[in-house]
Amino acid sequence: MNNTTSPYAIELRDISKRFGAVQANKDICLQVPAGTVHGIIGENGAGKSTLMSIIYGFYEADSGDIEVGGELVNIRTSEDAIRFGIGMVHQHFMLVENFTVLENVVLGAEGGAMLKGGLDAARKELKRLEQEYNLDVDVDAVVEDLPVGLQQRVEILKALYRGAKILILDEPTGVLTPQEADHLFRILQSLKEQGVTVMIITHKLREIMASTDNVSVMRQGQMVAHRVTAETDKEELAELMVGKKVRLVVDKEEAKPTNVALSAKNLSWFDEQGVKRLKDVSLELKAGEIVGIAGVSGNGQSELLNALSGITPLSGGEIHFNGEVITAKNKKNASQMRDLKMAHVPEDRHKMGLVTGFEAYEAAILGYHNSEAYNGKILLDRKAMLDECNERMQKWDVRPADPFLKTANFSGGNQQKIVIAREVEQNPDVLLIGQPTRGVDIGAIENIHEEIVKLRDSGKAILLVSVELDEIMALSDRIIVMFDGAVVGEIDAKDADERTLGLMMANALNEEEKAGGQA
């Protein structure tokens, strides 16, 4: 990494960016030597995409300097970034689907009012680029007819056409087949040979090992390590990525699981594009235990919660719960699942758990608004709602304890308490709980963890989804690991450590076993 003979293609010094209460990037320093492939790795939410958006001019950093080719630059818009020779290939392609490759490439750089001249010039230039970088695409093909691997190539061509010397790829293999990914890595090598600097953002260890010269690891908005790829290995990176955080200590006794409260068999779910997001997931929840789902976010945990709670109907498989068998045909919506005594603290309290325009006492009955407790014959029983809200606010120490305050105006931790109180106080048999402490301050975290354990000890079955590995390890009695929509492992919480879990989450354990290596 300390190869200082050549100037850096890009150098970041003390870049910080804050969104409201969230510090997305903190004092980031990064040096990318020219003509190398540099990986930036980290879990979802580690701040990688924010950092790249700062480099590409989507966001402006709150503080810090960026140098491109040894020159201090001020990147305010993506036009600035392009001017400084920075190109970006987004995870979700920014292509006009019903335009041809050629038209897409010249978009924004048409070169005059009439298209003809610009297109002809572009065609010539593209031919040259294709040959130089070994990027074979039919320039007259309509983009929507191309497979994703080729669409990605169009994105790369687009950046090169604008004179990019530094190419940023955001999660480039997310949409590719393994073969297409290998092809991409070959393209990156030839780009490198031509002197282009490449930065890849990813959370996949395999592609870091396969394609980069150097790798930087981000965790919770900070840059935690820089390594030369040849001198590191997957295990070290996994550990760095997940981190050895201060152990959360949750005071709890050994679980005493009893009967099976919920069992799910071969659950599957296809999204609107027909992509299988849940792949034959089976699991059992016993009364009196906490089962944690570990996994890099976006590997099917949210879909699992949605399927179990009735938010999305199943595509296949069955859920046995309180005498009902829920299948793709015998659907139950979220309200019917609540009637069966299932409660759900959703992962995203703003989008799902609350209506931020509602006052606290109104948000406190969301999902239970048809309950007799809150309704008179026709009108809602405002007094009952207010009394209960006041009572819960005292019990859960919600601040300010004002039932008339709009939920949007509570802090994250207090919003979460409103949601958890609502779900827990209904005395459910099964509690699904997603990201219980996301954006919640330390004091409130302890409080919430204690309540979850208390609930377990009172004989409830709890399914916990969290991207915080230490939270999973501190709370769970059993840990299930999900990867790419499937369950890839299960481990007793007593035997779990960050390293093993990190490898399981990256699905590297299985790969190595397959390769005959040792985990």
Which residue ranges make up the site for other proteins (CB under 8 A)?
A: 20, 309-311, 333-338, 344, 346, 351-358, 362, 365-367, 369-370, 374-375, 378-380, 382, 409
* Residue of 362, 385, 366, 389 lying closest to 375 (CA atoms): 385
DSSP code at position 353: I
DSSP code at position 359: B
Q: Distance between CA 430 and CA 322 in Å, rounded?
A: 10
| Alpha helical stretches, state H, 168-265 | 178-193, 205-211, 234-242
In one letter, which amino acid is 162?
R
H/E segment holding residue 475? helix 469-475
CA angle centred on 46, ends 227 and 214, rounded to 5°: 20
Smallest separation, CB 144 to other proteins (Å):
22
- Identity of the residue, 99 or 358, whose beta carbon is nearer to other proteins in the bound complex: 358
Smallest separation, CB 436 to other proteins (Å):
16
In one letter, which amino acid is 147?
P
Smallest separation, CB 224 to other proteins (Å):
30
DSSP code at position 350: I
- Identity of the residue, 282 or 335, whose beta carbon is nearer to other proteins in the bound complex: 335
Smallest separation, CB 397 to other proteins (Å):
19
Determine the 3-state secondary structure of 33 from DSSP. Answer: strand
Smallest separation, CB 268 to other proteins (Å):
20
Q: Distance between CA 401 and CA 378 in Å, rounded?
A: 28
CA 65 vs. chain centroid, Å, equals 27
251 to 247, 255, 441, 457: CA distances (angstroms): 12, 12, 19, 12
DSSP code at position 126: H
- Identity of the residue, 266 or 336, whose beta carbon is nearer to other proteins in the bound complex: 336
Residues sharing a CB contact under 8 Å with residue 501, sequence separation 6 or more, in sequence order: 242, 294, 469, 472, 473, 479, 481, 491
- Give residue for tokens 């809602």: 380
End-to-end CA distance of the chain: 27
Residue 147: is the preceding peptide bond cis (ω within 30°)?
no
- Identity of the residue, 73 or 366, whose beta carbon is nearer to other proteins in the bound complex: 366
In one letter, which amino acid is 482?
M
- Identity of the residue, 209 or 340, whose beta carbon is nearer to other proteins in the bound complex: 340
- Identity of the residue, 354 or 444, whose beta carbon is nearer to other proteins in the bound complex: 354
Q: How many CB atoms lie within 10 A of CB 212?
A: 25
Determine the 3-state secondary structure of 505 from DSSP. Answer: helix
Residues sharing a CB contact under 8 Å with residue 246, sequence separation 6 or more, in sequence order: 470
Smallest separation, CB 363 to other proteins (Å):
9
- Identity of the residue, 103 or 359, whose beta carbon is nearer to other proteins in the bound complex: 359
- Are 38 and 32 in contact by the 8 Å Cβ rule? The answer is yes
- Identity of the residue, 184 or 352, whose beta carbon is nearer to other proteins in the bound complex: 352
Phi-psi region of 437 (alpha: psi -120 to 50; beta: other; left: phi over 0): alpha
Smallest separation, CB 79 to other proteins (Å):
26
Smallest separation, CB 321 to other proteins (Å):
15
87 to 65, 159, 424, 492: CA distances (angstroms): 19, 5, 49, 46
- Identity of the residue, 141 or 355, whose beta carbon is nearer to other proteins in the bound complex: 355
- Are 300 and 489 in contact by the 8 Å Cβ rule? The answer is no
- Identity of the residue, 337 or 474, whose beta carbon is nearer to other proteins in the bound complex: 337
- Identity of the residue, 153 or 417, whose beta carbon is nearer to other proteins in the bound complex: 417
Smallest separation, CB 331 to other proteins (Å):
12
Smallest separation, CB 401 to other proteins (Å):
16
Q: Report the half-sphere exposure of 453 (CA within 13 A, side-chain side).
A: 19
Smallest separation, CB 21 to other proteins (Å):
8
- Identity of the residue, 282 or 336, whose beta carbon is nearer to other proteins in the bound complex: 336
Smallest separation, CB 358 to other proteins (Å):
7
- Identity of the residue, 48 or 332, whose beta carbon is nearer to other proteins in the bound complex: 332
Smallest separation, CB 345 to other proteins (Å):
10
Say how many residues make up the chain.
519
